[in-house]
Chains A and B, each alone.
Chain A
Amino acid sequence: MLWYKSWLETRWWFLVGLSILIAAAAGVVLLHPWVMRMEPNLETLGGPMGEKIRAAFNLMRDYRTYVWTQWWSKNLVEIWTLLAIRTAAGGLLAESSHGSALFTLALPVSRRRLFGVRCALGLSEIAMLALIPSLAVRILSPWINQTYRLSDVLVHSALLLVAGLVFFSFTVLLSSVFTDQWKPILISLGAAILIGLTWTLAPDFPLFNLVAVMIGRDYHFYGRIPWQGVLTALALSAGMLYGALRLVERRDF
């Protein structure tokens, strides 16, 4: 029944988010022919900027790269991160600001189980938010006479989930500190924007680059799984989730 409670608390964001992502996935696929028809217009663009745009366009002639550019490194990663942060916010402390935390805490279950169920449901939801719309890309591609590999969907979704888990866990940790539900969301969003800007300005920054793992850059271009990044993200997330659990277990309500 704790699953049911957590589902009721998160379902609207999940369903609305899923709908938006599926619509975005459909948009990416169905707009591909229209984007390809823009090529003659690009010839008129001059200067270094025009060169850059033409180079990017040439890359996107390959449908797999088009999907990577428009879906995995743009629409999905941006919307999904926002939804992962929103899904992670909440829990016992937020409940205490509504007053219902004492009702929850009076149930004959441990705080560990309450925390575990909420996190597990949140993880399941963000996993579905990564996977289901991406499967829509594969399913819709034949409509425009293209194909997209299932293995690409699975590997990219897994990379997004594992690396994006850092944002989820960070928000869970903040939700174990602040009773206000919006503070963790705003702080996490701020962190996500900062990391995104760092990536845009210095994509080859030698330290662990979360965005590169999330969008599966190495996998797309070189077929490599970025194990170091994956393990670092997992370790960071596990540490933050454990810290959050300890805070919740020790807190007085």
Chain B
Amino acid sequence: MAVIEAVNLRRNYGAVKAVDGIDLDVPAGAIFGFLGRNGAGKTTTMKMLLGMARPSGGEARVLGYSAASLNGSVQIRGRTAFVSEEKALYNYMRVGQLIRFTRAFYPRWRADLEQKYLRLFELPSDRKVKALSKGTRTKLALLLALSQGADLLILDEPTSGLDPAMTEQVLEALVSHVAGEEMTIFFSSHQIVEVEQIADRVGIIERGRMARTGALDDLRASCRRVVAVFDGDAPGDFQAAGAGCVRREGRTLSVLAWGNAEEIAAEARKRNAVSVEIAPVTLKEIFLETVNDAEAGGR
């Protein structure tokens, strides 16, 4: 069953298409990494899923409820925990006060998890929120989200502004939480390494459009880099079915292949390449090729 389904979801701000017809299908139990550059449309998409922004078109359903309906969005938020990029909380409350305040809205609140994360994150219950560092505020926001007993966790740039040690601690907490609880995570990031570390599915959004989506392992398996070296200059008119971005640097031709690396390698050999190598690619390469492709297509 899909926890998040979106069909042709759009949001325009005047002439600007912040989200331009994206489709989403996030199954239950998935950890979905939503990748994109700044301003690509990640946050707007998340806000539409939570009923904080109204779609200009298309439809989004979360946990079976329509995100555009007022009642539906309340139902969604009752079973979905959200952590915004800013992690801005109520500065005038103390940590313990904010926990008690939040707890009151969620009948499935997990007191055991609240205690666990209070200890793990070493949160000072009697300190004012405004006196917390950004890292501690992030941990508090995560405690509030993870203790809700939610079915879905939506995180917008959960580790932005954190130092590497704290980033690691937060990611570890997330992974171990999901291992122990039945829940789905939908998180955005432009930190590709952390997406690769915890996600099992990814979607790459560029200029409001879903440029690529699928299981991370499938994406990695279907994508290869073919590097061919020629005697003279690499051919400028190299074309093959399934070839992604093609780059020429002197005698070297580098082609990103989607699912047909062997055919591209064969084509390179036919064009008298002296050596041809097929190498695996990282998510970072897939991401960069995808956004560069989309950018070239948009020009």
Contacts and interface: CB of A to CB of B under 8 A. Distances in A.
Contacts of A249: 70
A100 interface: yes
A107 to B, nearest CB: 5
State which size class the interface on B falls in: 20 to 34
Interface string A100-112: 1011011111111
B53 interface: yes
B52 A253 contact: yes
B15 interface: no
A110 B53 CA distance: 13
Nearest to A110: B74
B86 A106 contact: no
A107 B105 contact: yes
B104 interface: yes
A227 interface: no
A102 B47 CA distance: 9
A1 B104 contact: yes
B204 interface: no
Interface residues of A, number: 22
Interface string A116-136: 000000000000000000000
B82 A99 contact: no
Contact of B92 (A8, A103, A105, A106): A8
Contacts of B53: 252-253
A112 B53 CA distance: 15
A110 B84 CA distance: 19
B93 interface: yes
A8 B98 CA distance: 12
Interface in B65-115: 70-71, 74-75, 77-78, 80-82, 84, 86, 88-93, 101-102, 104-106
15 contacts: A1-B101, A100-B89, A100-B90, A100-B91, A102-B84, A102-B86, A102-B88, A105-B50, A105-B52, A106-B80, A107-B77, A107-B102, A107-B105, A108-B74, A252-B47
Given A107-B105, A110-B71, A252-B52, 10 more contacts: A5-B101, A8-B92, A102-B84, A103-B84, A103-B89, A110-B74, A250-B54, A252-B47, A252-B54, A253-B47
Interface of A: 1, 4-5, 8-9, 98-100, 102-103, 105-112, 249-250, 252-253
